[in-house]
Amino acid sequence: MQKIEAVIQPSKLDAVKDALVEIGIEGMTILEARGHGRQKGHTEFYRGREYTVDLLPKIKLEMVIPDELVDKAVEAIQSSARTGKIGDGKIFISKIDDAIRIRNDERGPSAL
Amino acid sequence: MRRYIFSLLLGLTFCCPVLVAQTPAAASTSDRLTKLEAQVAQAQSSADNAWMLTSAALVLMMTGPGLALFYGGLVRKKNVLATMMQSFAMMAIISVLWALLNYSLAFGSGTSFVGGLHNVFLRGVGLTPDPDYSATIPLQTFMIYQLMFAIITPALVTGAFAERMKFSAMALFLTLWAIVVYSPMAHMVWGKGGLLNAALGGRFPTLDFAGGTVVHITSGVSALVCALYLGKRVGYPKEAMPPHSVVLSFIGACLLWVGWFGFNAGSALGSSPLATSAFVNTHFGAAAAALSWALAEWIRNGKPSALGAISGAVAGLVAITPAAGFVQPMSAIVIGLVAGVFCYFMVIKVKAWFGYDDSLDAFGVHGAGGTIGAILTGIFASSAINPIFKDPKTGATLPSGAIEGNWHQIGNQLVGIAIAWVISIVGTLILLKIVDVTIGLRVPTDDEVEGLDLTQHGEEGYDFAS
């Protein structure tokens, strides 16, 4: 079991979700996040004072999936989230020790 | 014998009505005319009173929720409730104080500087008119209308010390301020015997239709003093403190614009053509100033901001306040255009030059706007709109402002402006000092960082997760 964390542009959320559903991944957690990599922020003006906003809105998806699906999931996310511009986001993959279904104590890959 | 007396009494009972009844005399023409005149006066009173009560409601709406929203949206989320609470506290405190004391100090007979105690506890303030103020509306209507002005004026001051003043200190300071600064200033400009009262023969008649000096200069200048005395917010100016909701400020500003019709047109104290003039001027002043501020911003920053446009409208409303019932509509547009640019400059440049933290620009908009508006009133006042100055011997109408040749009026305006500035600075400094040494003014630094909603009121403004 591996965890995929993907930070993407908020406008790409629907496209990414659709692409993941198409390859059989339906369970995921979606968080509203703020952040930036190399993307520059923007300036806002209030009553003549300049404010540099460099914490930009992002969407973060987290999903724990069986090992067999990881490559397909990464490909799905990349193709649907990419615009080619700085700020597209990143994907991180990590190993998961265990997964437990709260409802009935199921453990391991069948709990995913 | 008894039967004889009984018949006699019975007979008299029947006769009496016949003996007493007369043919009704035709009501005379003069009687009918007198009655008619009384009815016409009654109708005029009803019209005036209806408008005045409506105006009073509109002005209260300017404070709550108008100003509460306008200011509330400009502060950081952690202070939104505390900021709104400051305006609301004025609605509660000043109202009671007005009935107990301040109405008398402002509008009772006294000296040229302040009223006396004749009307404390609203003694003598009943439902019959007082011709010195208005011959057609109950004195209580006048009293309640003026109360709404007394409420919003200290509420405006709160903009200067937003996000760092203790609630208890604010309540005490503004209560004292209302007594020491507002009431005397109101008395001087509007009260009987007032030094600056143009309508009632003051020594230095200052043309201030709805409170450019009484409300805006006093609140704005006092705000500046507060901002300087209390010092800057923790982290200012390095830390970014943008408004948490320009949406709230937008709603508040629009409520202010609409409410201002009560503030200015209601100052005609009746539903007269003068009220129409004031209403029309108010509107054009607001619109013109919104345009000029937005345009100035567009030129300087490349984009016109919503906050800039609404701030411009408020600046125009402030500037037209002293002029509303004295100028022609085209003059109102000029006043608005000037005020928009002038206040923009005050807020953008002057504040940065001096570096004071007038958090919500109470001085930049109200102090500066009120001052420029009062000066422009002296220039543009027209006796065709409001024949306020009359020759004492002949009763002929005299010129009002500079455009009619009365350049002397600008001098009178400056006297009124100067008195407003001085009483605000001196009064505010003394009261701040008193409150500072007794209970302290600022919240502790940790509380300021955590936010006033939680630390002063034990609440959170928004809890969307719940």
Residue B442: how many CA atoms within 13 Å on its side-chain side? 19
State the DSSP code for A93: E
Taking CB atoms and an 8 Å limit, are B240 and A47 in contact across chains? no
pLDDT at A94: 97
How much is the pLDDT for B11?
Answer: 66
Give how far A43 is from chain B: nearest CA, Å: 11
Domain B45-455 fold is: Ammonium transporter fold (1.10.3430)
Determine the pLDDT at residue B72: 98
The string over B192-209, giving b where at least 16 C-beta atoms fall within 10 Å of a residue's C-beta and e elsewhere, is: bbbbbbbbeebebbbbbb
pTM given for the model: 0.90
The pLDDT, as a whole number, for residue B219 is 98
Q: Is B294 helix (H, G, I), strand (E, B) or coil?
A: helix
Residues 353-372 of B with CB under 8 A from A: 361
B80: left (phi over 0), alpha (psi -120 to 50) or beta: alpha
Asked if residues B322 and B416 have their Cβ atoms less than 8 Å apart, the reply is no
Output the average pLDDT for chain A: 93
Tell me if B352 and A48 make a contact (CB, 8 A cut-off): yes
Distance, CA of B247 to CA of B73 (rounded, Å): 7
Spatial distance between the Cα atoms of A44 and B306, rounded to a whole number of angstroms: 12
Q: Residues B148-161: what's their mean pLDDT?
A: 98
Q: What is the DSSP string of B351-397?
A: HHHHT---TT-HIIIIIHHHHHHHHHHHHH--TTT----B-TTT-PB
Indicate the residue of A45, A51, A52 with minimum beta-carbon distance to B301. A45
Which chain A residue has the Cα nearest residue B312? A47
Residue B181 is predicted with a pLDDT of 98
Number of residues assigned to chain A: 112
Q: What percent of chain B has pLDDT over 90?
A: 91
Domain-wise residue ranges, chain B = 45-455
Task: List, in order, residues 6 or more apart from A84 with CB less than 8 Å away.
Answer: none
In angstroms, the CA B134 to CA B339 distance is 31
User: Is A46–B348 a contact, with Cβ atoms under 8 angstroms apart?
Assistant: no
Longest CA–CA separation in chain A, Å: 59
Q: What is the 3-state secondary structure (H, E, C) of B192-230?
A: CCCCCECCCCCCCCECCCCCHHHHHHHHHHHHHHHHHHH
Residue of chain A whose alpha carbon sits nearest to that of B349: A48
Least Cα separation, residue A55 to chain B (angstroms)? 12
CB contact under 8 A, B240 and A52: yes
For A20-48, give one letter per residue: b (16+ CB within 10 A) or e. Answer: beeeebeebeeeeeeeeeebeeeeebbbb
The dihedrals phi and psi of B165, each to the nearest 5 degrees, come to -100, 140
Instruction: Give the best residue of A32, A34, A43, A45 to mutate against chain B (max B CB count within 10 A).
Output: A45
Look at B311 and A47 and tell me if their CB atoms are within 8 Å: yes
Checking if the pLDDT of A78 tops 60, the result is yes
SS3 A45: strand
Size of interface A-B (CB pairs under 8 A): 27
* Mean pLDDT on B75-104: 98
Give the pLDDT band of residue B86 (cuts 50, 70, 90). very high
Shortest Cα–Cα distance, B463 to chain A (Å): 17
B424-455 pLDDT per residue, tens: 999 999 999 999 999 999 999 999 999 999 99
Do residue A47 and residue B303 have CB atoms under 8 angstroms apart?
A: no
Angstrom distance (rounded) from CA B63 to CA B177 = 17
Asked if residue B16 has pLDDT above 60, the reply is no
Instruction: Check pLDDT > 80 for residue B404.
Output: yes
Q: Which residue of A has its CA nearest to B365?
A: A47
Nearest Cα residue in chain A from B360 = A47
Strand partners, B165: B442
DSSP string, B434-465: HHHHHT-SBPPHHHHHH-HHHHHHS--S--TT
Per-residue model confidence (pLDDT) at position A55 = 87
Banded pLDDT at A75 (limits 50, 70, 90): very high
In this predicted structure, the answer to whether residue B65 has a pLDDT above a threshold of 80 is yes
Where is B49: in which H helix or E strand?
helix B29-61
Measuring CA to CA, how many Å separate B293 from each of B52, B286, B309? 32, 11, 6
- Identify the contact set of chain A against chain B, taking CB-CB distances under 8 A: 44-49, 51-52
Write the residue in A46, A48, A52 that is nearest to B243 by C-beta.
A46
Helix axis angle, B273-301 to B329-345, nearest 10°: 40
Q: Is the pLDDT of residue B99 over 90?
A: yes
Chain A residues inside the 8 Å CB shell of B301: 45
Give the per-residue pLDDT at B466.
80
Cα angle at A101 between A99 and A103, to 5 degrees? 165
Q: Which domains, ranges and CATH numbers included, belong to chain A?
A: 2-111 (3.30.70.120)
Q: Name which residue leads in pLDDT, B238 or B62.
A: B62
For residue A54, the chain B residue with the least C-alpha distance is B240
Cβ distance B305 to A49 less than 8 Å, yes or no, reads: no
The pLDDT of residue B290 is above 60: yes
* pLDDT tens column, B254-285: 999 999 999 999 999 999 999 999 999 999 99
Distance of alpha carbon B137 from alpha carbon B118, whole angstroms: 20
CB B89 within 8 A of CB B171: yes
Q: Could you report the per-residue pLDDT of B316-361, keeping only the tens digit for each?
A: 999 999 999 999 999 999 999 999 999 999 999 999 899 999 999 9
Average pLDDT on A86-107 reads 95
B348, B357, B464: best mutation site toward chain A, by most A Cβ within 10 Å? B348
Tell me whether B96 touches chain A (CB under 8 Å).
no
At A7-40, the pLDDT tens digits run 999 999 999 999 999 999 989 999 999 998 888 8
Interface of B with A in 382-401 (CB under 8 A): none
Q: Which two tokens stand for residue B74?
A: 């400009």
Q: pLDDT (tens digit, 9 = 90+) per residue, B374-393? A: 999 999 999 999 999 999 89
Contact B305 A46 (CB under 8 A): yes
Q: Which residues 235-254 on chain B approach chain A with CB closer than 8 angstroms?
A: 237, 240, 242-243, 246
In this prediction, residues B208-237 reach a mean pLDDT of 96
CA angle (B77 as vertex; B154, B301 as ends), nearest 5: 85
Tell me the mean pLDDT in the region A37-44.
84
Contact B361 A44 (CB under 8 A): no
Q: Search chain B and give the residue with CA nearest A51.
A: B240
Using DSSP bridges, classify how beta strands A42-46 and A49-53 pair: parallel, antiparallel or unpaired.
Answer: antiparallel
Listed range (B10-24, B88-102, B428-442) with the worst mean pLDDT: B10-24
Q: What is the pLDDT of residue A41?
A: 83
Return the structure tokens found at B134: 């208005």
